Amino acid sequence: MVMACIHRLVLAAAAIFCVSHATGQERKILKLEIKNLGMSLNEGDETSVATCRDFRPTARQVRNFFLRSYPVPGAYMAHDLYSDCYAIGEITFNDNKSFGKWILYSTGVARIDWDFGGEVYLLYRKNKWYNPMGE
């Protein structure tokens, strides 16, 4: 029962994220805020912290990512495209109902945690930012 509810929430979040594509409307971003750049998941590792400081995507690059990315399973972030380096912020899309906090990794995978509940994992690999993890 609980798993079915969680599964429905994930599907709803992905549907909301993709609805503009399915209806032929262009997805637009009303507000994009970058809260922090160049962060490391391994704060206790000086090498990781120093390396990740170089992950500094511009607002234009982050905006491009969220306009071109598409939903993927969460395993992309945890295993397939793992990175210590990330940035965080907030986003609001043009329906003015889809808004939340995001975490973007240097490898081109991200997660949005929606304010209304649920999350969506996103991928876009043709980014122009510098990836200090070497991909």
Residue 131 lies in a domain: no
Largest CA distance in the chain: 47
The pLDDT, as a whole number, for residue 87 is 98
pLDDT band (50, 70, 90) for residue 91: very high
Q: Domain of residue 109: give its range.
A: 2-123
* Residue 83: inside a domain: yes
Tokens of 129: 């930012």
Q: How far is C-alpha 96 from the chain's CA centre?
A: 18
Distance CA(110)–CA(121), nearest Å, equals 6
103 within domain boundaries = yes
* Domain-embedded: residue 128: no
pLDDT in tens, 23-69: 456 789 999 999 999 999 998 889 999 999 999 999 999 999 999 99
Q: Which pLDDT does position 26 carry in this prediction?
A: 74
Has this prediction a pTM greater than 0.85? no
Would you say residue 130 lies in a domain? no
Alpha-carbon gap, residue 118 to 12, rounded angstroms: 8
Cβ-contact 111, 62 below 8 angstroms: no
Report d(CA 133, CA 38) in Å as an integer. Answer: 12
DSSP H helices, 23-133, are: 46-52, 59-68, 75
Give the C-alpha separation, 99 to 104, whole Å.
15
Number of independent structural domains in the chain? 1
